[in-house]
Chain A
Amino acid sequence: MKCKVCKRETESKYCELHDKAYRNIVKEYDVWKKASDVSWKEYLSAIAKNSYTGLWAKEVAEHLMKSGEK
């Protein structure tokens, strides 16, 4: 199986590096939702544009926006 973002060989949906970013994205959504009641899509779009977002987290956010996966 290949990582959905970088196509590295992996045993799950994402490689180890992008998986860490994915887990961070899911975890931080709760904080965003409580803070300013944004939807999942709005959240992904906001973090994909944010200059503090890490490269791998941006790649995962863009992939999630394109694919519509949760």
Chain B
Amino acid sequence: MEKYTLIVTEKPNAAQRIAKALDSQGTPEKVEEDGVPYFLAHRDQKLVVVPALGHLYTVVHERGRRNYYPVFNFKWAPRYSAERRAKQTRTWIEVISRLASNAENFIAACDYDLEGSLIGYCLLKYACGDKEGVAKRMKFSTLTKNELEKAYEEPLSSLNFALIEAGRTRHEVDWLYGVNLSRALTLAAKRWSGRYATLSTGRVQGPTLKFLVGREKEIRSFVPTPYWSIRSEVKIKSSVYEVEYETKTFEKKANADAVVEACKGKTGEIETIEVRKLRQKPPIPFDLGKLQTEAYSLFRYTPRRTSGIAQRLYLEALISYPRTSSQKLPPTIDYRAILKKLKKKTVYKKLASDLLRKDELKPVEGKKEDPAHPAIYPTGNMPERELSEPEKRVWDLVVRRFMAVFGEPAIKQSMKASIVVNGHRFYLRGRRVLKEGWTRFYKPYIRAEEVLLPTIKDGQKVSMKQVMREDKFTKPPPRYNPSSLLQKMEEEGIGTKATRADIIETLYSRGYVAEERIVTTDLGFDIADVLSKYCPRVTSVKFTRELEEKMERIQTNSEDRVNVLVEAVSQLKPVLEELKEKEQAIGQVLSQAIKRARMQERLIGNCPDCKTGKLMILYSRKTRKRFIGCTNYFKDICTTSFPLPQKGTAKPAQKNCKGCEWPLVFVRMRGRRPWMLCFNPKCPLKEERRKRNEMQSLQKGN
């Protein structure tokens, strides 16, 4: 049999793109074995490019049952042996092993980061039979033909073992913390109540929940205080302009009233006019965090969604590798070549051409660096398929940001006129753009508006159009949203760029938090309380950050993997001992919290009839059928009840009906579009619908 080089990749899309780039004809043959695709390409020799499905191996408990802790003995094993939902990984591993048995050379072509390096290593070591020592490594930041060919022609002579060690350690430490702490919480609740509910926490999840609980406590115990301000307008020629009073806020109402009294209906005089020029530097290139923040603020995409879209654009070779912390664009990416390619698209033609006319292209850069990848940039390739609307938006954002970093500073003029009215001073402010600079590249995403002022001069008289007191209150601190929480995690140095968005999603899926402007649920409060009370070290940001830093040092060979693991276990052991000792008390708190959370999930609103009970989704003791009933139903006090569909799921929608203001129920059924159900039989909207239907059937009859 003809020998070949086996190239292992992270995902099927990447395998296809790599095979296409490396095949001398650009037409690799796709083969499918037991549902696993791989690609045959011909270059200087035969190449077989086979994808993984992300991680095919994971950390598992070496031996023993699932329902006890502490567990410190682990090993790496195929994912199918540990996760019920990962059955298909067995076939993938079998196919890769078969392909490896006839291969002569091995190349890892997974993403060049912690996760990618670890995926490649596990495939070569376990599926290919200890080939990690002989394999070469392709290093690339985009999936473009040129870069892939270069990465193949000039591969690294070995895998990056420091990166692999760092990745392994992170998975192992996260497993030790996640498995032990989650089991401690789940088992404590189960042993106390006899009922099972999955409760989880982890090394990063705990401190993140702590931020949210801290903010929620501030908001819920907030007491506003009153203050006052002056709202005022002046008339200049025939136009009215808003002016601001020299003192922005008053702590006493009487002081604000005195200003209104003194200035109302009076004429003022322009005393001074200050004109200033401001230079606004271009923005820095996107790292993943900055891209996620910008996409949230512009399009309201959650960090996880943006990360998913960016990953798809990378796999389509439209942008560079997105999971980067770099804010730098090295000249080796060839700015001009990218701009020349972007010129082909009509909307970018003029902008790219203008940049290409510059003698020197020098990007503005941020401070952060990433040894593996540059900042996110467009490859210049045009989409080969119709992109979805979100993909188009993120791609456009990356393209425009890339062009903007090469732009000139924008020059703005600000004007501040000081107006004196009866001894009181007001300011009239205006601003306008003198030179667009970089903002013309980034125009759709810039929100600052110009305030143009009329021609005015010192000594000019102006009349006060309006002077009034505004009553205001101090506001509680804002809630975190997925984007600001991600920024907070980044600032505090917990989690990695690849995991932060997923950790936020886990907090939602566990029911610890809810809503876009994040509200901590009662269950979230209780979990955070238990952790802070019994194992404060686990929720300590400082401790988590220190561990992160140590794990990062493994990447540069300045820390040893075993030391980090030993330290993690030595920190964890006493925590678990204490949790075990206090299991009963913890179990009681958590069981009650779960019970409350489950009640909350079924609670619809107040009973409209008896007024003392609550409407809930209940189950008949006889038939086990579900219905909406009053909590006084089983006490024989109130018989209010309403039917519910028996199939699918039904839960409170947390919204009221527009027709009758009764709470709505959200029903989801297989094969049907989910809908909001108003269970009020006398809802005016239902009556309207009934009449409309009757009219229609009468018309049909005629």
Contacts and interface: CB of A to CB of B under 8 A. Distances in A.
Pair from one complex: yes
B253 A20 contact: no
Given A20-B221, A34-B252, A35-B251, A52 B226 contact: no
Interface in A44-70: 47, 50, 52-57
A57 B220 contact: yes
A35 B225 contact: yes
B222 A53 contact: yes
A20 B214 CA distance: 12
Interface residues of A, number: 20
Nearest to A21: B221
A52 B217 contact: no
Given A34-B252, A35-B252, A54 B221 contact: yes
A24 B225 contact: no
Nearest to B473: A52
A3 interface: no
A55 B220 contact: yes
Contacts of A47: 223-224
A55 B219 CA distance: 8
Contact of A56 (B221, B251, B474): B221
Interface of B, helix, strand, loop or mixed by DSSP: loop
A35 B253 contact: yes
A64 to B, nearest CB: 12
Contacts of A54: 218-223, 476
Interface string B205-233: 00000000000011111111111000000
A47 B473 CA distance: 10
Contacts of B220: 17, 21, 54-57
Interface string B607-629: 00000000000000000000000
Interface string B239-254: 0000000000001110
B473 A35 contact: no
B279 interface: no
Listed residue (B217, B221, B224, B251) with the most chain A CB atoms within 10 angstroms of its CB: B221
B565 to A, nearest CB: 36
B277 interface: no
Contact of A52 (B224, B227, B251): B224
Interface string B627-664: 00000000000000000000000000000000000000
B691 interface: no
A25 B218 CA distance: 13
Contacts of B219: 54
B344 interface: no
Instruction: Among B217, B220, B474, B475, find the residue whose CB has the most chain A CB atoms closer than 10 A.
Output: B220
Interface string A27-49: 11001101110000000000100
B253 A52 contact: no
A54 B221 CA distance: 5
A28 B221 contact: no
Interface in B508-532: none
Contacts of B253: 35-36
A32 B224 CA distance: 9
Given A35-B227, A35-B252, A36-B253, A52 B222 contact: yes
Given A35-B251, A52-B473, 12 more contacts: A20-B217, A21-B220, A24-B222, A34-B252, A35-B226, A35-B253, A36-B226, A50-B224, A52-B474, A52-B475, A54-B221, A57-B223
Interface of A: 17, 20-21, 24-25, 27-28, 31-32, 34-36, 47, 50, 52-57
Please name the 7 residue pairs, one residue from A and one from B, whose CB atoms are nearest each other, closest first: A21-B221, A54-B222, A54-B220, A52-B224, A28-B223, A31-B225, A56-B220
